[in-house]
Amino acid sequence: MAKKLTEQDIIRNFEKITEFNAPKETITRDIDNIHQMLKEPGAQASPADQNVWRIIMQNKWTKRVSAAVIFIAILIGISNLPQSELSAAELLIKVSEKMANIKWAKNTSKTYLPGNDKPANSSTSITDVKNKQVFLVYEKGYLHQLDYKNQVKSVYRPDDNTMIVSKLKGKWVGPERKVKQFIEKLKTEGLEVKQSKEVIDGIEMTVIEYDETLNDINPEPDKYMSKMLFAGKSVKTIKKKLVINTDRMNLSSSQVSYFDPEDNPIARIVSETEIIESGPTDIYELGAPKDAIIINKIPDEQVKDIRKKISENQGSFTKNYVAVYIQRLAEKDNNRIMEALVIYCQGKKLRVDSFYSGSYAKREKLTEKRKDILQGSIDILRRHVPADEALAMHHVSIYDGLWQHKLEIRDKEFVLNPKQRRPDGDARGNDDLDDFGWRILWWLGDPEHMYEDEFSKENDLIAMELTAQGSSNRLPKRLALYVDPAKDYLYRRYIDKRILDAPWQIEKIEDCTQKHEDVKIYDIVEYAQTSAGKWYPKTITINGYSKTTGKKRQSDFNRKCKIFLIEENPKLQQELFDPQILE
Amino acid sequence: MKDNQKKTLELLDQHGESLHRLLSRLTRCEHTTSDLMQELFIRLSGGRGFAKALNPYAYAWKTAANLAFDWRRKQKINFEYLDPTMLSDESSQHTLEQMIQQEQINRILHITCGFNELARNVIVMRFIEQKSYQQIAERLGKNPDYLRSLCSKKLKHLQTILNKEISSHQKGGE
């Protein structure tokens, strides 16, 4: 949760709440039940779905009464309470207390896929309670050490004999974690709990189970999507089971099974817990070789300072100007325009007229129809675009300080999009002049850290890097930023990479559903200054490629972008920003 | 059939779904929604306030929102970071993103609980039910400009509290 929230983020979260809908059958069932209840004389609140456990955990008085019953039972020496749900509550709390006092625990976890008795993967974790450490052993020699005392995570990767040391997020929870999670879940969500006895290896065990059903959060009808995906499938039901050794009062095993909306099993994770006497003291004792190359990714405090300076400089760039941005194919024989923008900025107000090159005859004809609003921008662009190179409108967007309005050509027609409320600024945050020059890395991944290489050293640049691990449905991603402190913290180079075979990926991805690899390198190769001496980019090159994973053929991406600051502090007519003109 | 019972049944037929939707969005829990829905209609059928209400739906809506926020206030919200050991082998990155968003949503609703009744209801009508200020003003009998300004202030307030929490988490984690 590193990113600060804007008002827009909060509104977006509210919109997510709006998307949340209980299944139709649940609504009908609840309404029918109430109908029946209201029609019966002397109707009472009859919590049909509640069992004793739910009542106990949801009501403070019943909780106190149950605690008193247990206390009295112990006092008068009744050791065998009836096999009711009440003993499940007592049992879980006792197990949690007992497990909180052990010194070492070992947990073996295996994931089974439907129709296969062999586990798809397995891992072992060893918990050192005294030193607040967890050691994890994965298949193929991957080792993790999670040091909660110092909040440091070490990951050994045998593929290239590297040890990645990074900041550990999260709070220490001992071996009682699973039992506590069980108690919390039941306490806060009031789920049904089942309790039974089972003899395993000649020992009588107590089995506690509950099923959790996830809601459909997809606003589109006929498509199911819950808040959880497992192996690329949307999970509808999660069945959890704890097996408790009542004699020793400890957790023996646990099982979590995931089911899709049609109730087909997706996967089953079986974990066995054992109390052990001792374990490794560090990752080397666990098996990592001493000569492993250490890559330190602990985020540097400097990152925060630099980010602050970038934001300050971006914020102080002039807010009253007219500018032109032209992006062309950087090929000798064909350097046609890919995008041309005329940008009018006045305080919070922003208007951007966007054009294509004129290879779209029909668009050109359409453009003619809106000469009333486009002529001024075309005249400005003509100073930089030869007369024989036609210009066809792509879109006109107006941000009036709160609302974003956009007129675009779509399917050979003018389409006025519904206006959008944007209290935090222009729509995409990438068509204002300062958006072209100042960048900040943000992605859900490992913490951003300072970085140094030949390019940063040679050019006296401050470099930062952020990587994100890939998974079965996401390619590994890397963002790197080289900032020039001598040029008002404008970036000099920005790299955005999304590739399958990534050197920063810790665990190998066997198969990824995302197949589109993409690499782009942005370089500011020429800078200019405003009359007040503020730097801005004059020429930017964008080079890279995109390709489909596993295929050799790639399409190259080579562009050259020119920025012309046409006028500073111009007197702009207010009708330029009047959304009415788009209608 | 008594008048109040008839009135309650009519409300259930006409607005049952909408009230269910409101409760499910505010509690985000199917079981709780069922319980609260039942409690809501028992209260309405036996309450004098509802019997006298000129706008039964508005009265029921307000009662439902109060029930949901009361329930939420009683919940223990654990604003801890997610445990990476739990996620490393059992969940994908996408799930993590979803969980972070769920956490944000729960925190937003939890903070909204603390607002006064008017502000809370305006926030729900505006941002969750997506009503226009004019529609909200008509329902509540207030000036739309006042409601707009109230909403804006409360949104800012929410942002300040959330970002303060994020900062204190970050400091705590360092």
A184 touches chain B (CB under 8 A): yes
Domain identity same for B91 and B167: yes
In three-state secondary structure terms, B61 is helix
pLDDT band at A417 (very low <50, low <70, confident <90, very high): confident
pLDDT of residue B71: 85
Domain identity same for B67 and B43: yes
Chain B partners within 8 Å of A234 (Cβ): none
Show the tokens assigned to A409.
């050509």
Q: Provide CB contacts within 8 A for B22, sequence distance 6+.
A: B61, B64, B65, B68, B124, B128, B129
Domain identity same for B12 and B41: yes
Share of chain A above pLDDT 70, in %: 82
Q: How far apart (Å, rounded) are the C-alpha atoms in residues A263 and A235?
A: 9
Residue of A nearest to B128 (CA): A18
A473 vs B92: CB contact, 8 Å cut-off? yes
Show the tokens assigned to A527.
């800078």
Indicate if the pLDDT at residue A56 is higher than 60. no
- Listed residues B36, B53, B76: the one ending a domain: B76
pLDDT of residue A47: 36
Write the pLDDT tens digit of every residue in B21-64: 999 889 887 778 888 888 888 888 877 788 888 888 888 999 99
Domain identity same for B92 and B62: no
pLDDT of residue A151: 86
Q: Which residues pair with A529 in a beta bridge?
A: A535
Residue from the list A49, A213, A229 with its beta carbon closest to the beta carbon of B92: A229
pLDDT of residue A135: 94
CB A572 within 8 A of CB A349: no
- Listed residues B76, B95, B125: the one ending a domain: B76
Highest mean pLDDT among A54-58, A67-71, A141-145, A470-474: A141-145
Residue of B nearest to A235 (CA): B95
Residue from the list A31, A146, A229 with its beta carbon closest to the beta carbon of B94: A229
* Pairing assessment for the beta strands A162-167 and A293-296 based on DSSP bridges: parallel
Domain count, chain B: 2
Indicate if the pLDDT at residue B140 is higher than 50. yes
Residue type, B20: H
Indicate if the pLDDT at residue A286 is higher than 80. yes
Describe chain B by its helix, strand, coil percentages, rounded to 5. Answer: 80, 0, 20
Query: Average of pLDDT values for A360-372?
Result: 78
Show the tokens assigned to A320.
């009253």
pLDDT band at A323 (very low <50, low <70, confident <90, very high): very high
B149 touches chain A (CB under 8 A): no
Share of chain A above pLDDT 90, in %: 29
Question: In terms of Cα–Cα distance, which of A524, A457, A449 is closest to A489?
Answer: A524
Q: Calculate how close chain A gets to B72, using CA atoms only, in Å.
A: 10
Question: A51 or B49, which is more confident?
Answer: B49
Chain B partners within 8 Å of A31 (Cβ): 12, 16-17, 20, 37
Q: How far apart (Å, rounded) are the C-alpha atoms in residues A122 and A23?
A: 35
Query: Average of pLDDT values for A257-278?
Result: 88
Q: Provide CB contacts within 8 A for B120, sequence distance 6+.
A: B65, B69, B112, B113
**Phi (first) and psi of residue A66, to 5 degrees:** -65, -40
Average pLDDT, chain B: 79
**Phi (first) and psi of residue B45, to 5 degrees:** -70, -25
Q: How far apart (Å, rounded) are the C-alpha atoms in residues A211 and B171?
A: 37
pLDDT of residue A227: 63
B43 touches chain A (CB under 8 A): no
Domain identity same for B145 and B168: yes
Domain identity same for B108 and B159: yes
pLDDT of residue A93: 83
Lowest mean pLDDT among A43-47, A216-220, A275-279, A398-402: A43-47
HEC states along A426-491? Answer: CCCCCCCHHHHHCCCCCCCCCCCEEECCHHHHHCCCEEEEEEECCECCECCEEEEEEEEHHHCCEE
Residue of A nearest to B35 (CA): A47
A12-22 burial, b at 16+ Cβ within 10 Å, e below that, comes to ebbebbeebbb
Residue of B nearest to A268 (CA): B90
pLDDT of residue A562: 95
Largest CA distance in chain A: 101
Element (H, E) at B18: helix B3-27
Show the tokens assigned to B123.
């926030």
Q: Which of B9, B31, B97 to mutate to test the interface with A (most CBs of A within 10 A)?
A: B31
A275-290 burial, b at 16+ Cβ within 10 Å, e below that, comes to eeeebbeebbebebee
Query: Average of pLDDT values for A291-320?
Result: 81
Chain A partners within 8 Å of B16 (Cβ): 27, 31, 34
In three-state secondary structure terms, A39 is helix
pLDDT band at B81 (very low <50, low <70, confident <90, very high): very low
Complex-level ipTM: 0.86
A18 vs B34: CB contact, 8 Å cut-off? no
Residue type, B87: L
Write the pLDDT tens digit of every residue in A71-126: 333 222 223 333 333 356 678 888 888 888 889 999 999 988 888 888 888 889 99
Give the number of other Cβ atoms within 10 Å of residue B174's Cβ. Answer: 9
pLDDT of residue A413: 85
Indicate if the pLDDT at residue B84 is higher than 60. no
pLDDT band at A359 (very low <50, low <70, confident <90, very high): low
- Does the reported pTM lie above 0.80? no
Q: How far apart (Å, rounded) are the C-alpha atoms in residues A99 and A200?
A: 20
- The secondary structure of B88-133 as a DSSP string is HTT--HHHHHHHHHHHHHHHHHHHHHTS-HHHHHHHIIIIIS---H
Residue of B nearest to A144 (CA): B85
Q: Calculate how close chain A gets to B156, using CA atoms only, in Å.
A: 7
pLDDT of residue A45: 37
Counted across chains A and B, CB pairs separated by less than 8 A come out at 191
A35 touches chain B (CB under 8 A): yes
- The secondary structure of A350-412 as a DSSP string is EEEEEEEETT-HHHHHHHHHTHHHHHHHHHHHHTTS-TTS-EEEEEEEEE-SSEEEEEEEETT
Domain identity same for B72 and B35: yes
Domain identity same for B156 and B89: yes
pLDDT of residue A495: 95
Q: How far apart (Å, rounded) are the C-alpha atoms in residues A226 and B105?
A: 15
Show the tokens assigned to A406.
């956009």
Indicate if the pLDDT at residue B19 is higher than 70. yes
Domain identity same for B86 and B165: yes
pLDDT of residue A143: 93
Residue from the list A1, A123, A170 with its beta carbon closest to the beta carbon of B100: A1
CA dihedral A20, A24, A30, A34 (to 10 degrees): 110
CATH of the domain at B131: 1.10.10.10
pLDDT of residue A554: 85
Residue type, A341: L
pLDDT of residue A86: 38
CB A463 within 8 A of CB A481: yes
* Pairing assessment for the beta strands A237-245 and A265-276 based on DSSP bridges: unpaired
pLDDT of residue B45: 82
Domain identity same for B48 and B17: yes
Domain identity same for B169 and B98: yes
Average pLDDT, chain A: 81
Question: A432 or A582, which is more confident?
Answer: A582
Question: In terms of Cα–Cα distance, which of A524, A519, A521 is closest to A540?
Answer: A524
A5 vs B104: CB contact, 8 Å cut-off? yes
pLDDT of residue A535: 96
CA dihedral A61, A64, A69, A74 (to 10 degrees): 180
**DSSP for residue B22:** H
Q: How far apart (Å, rounded) are the C-alpha atoms in residues A275 and A95?
A: 13
* Host domain of residue B19: 1-76
B84 vs A170: CB contact, 8 Å cut-off? yes
CATH of the domain at B56: 1.10.1740.10
Query: Average of pLDDT values for A35-62?
Result: 47
Show the tokens assigned to A77.
């020496």
Query: Average of pLDDT values for A263-285?
Result: 90
Q: Which residues pair with B106 in a beta bridge?
A: none
- Listed residues B41, B76, B111: the one ending a domain: B76
Domain identity same for B93 and B158: yes
Chain B partners within 8 Å of A240 (Cβ): none
Highest mean pLDDT among A36-40, A310-314, A371-375, A565-569: A565-569
Residue from the list B84, B99, B128 with its beta carbon closest to the beta carbon of A17: B128
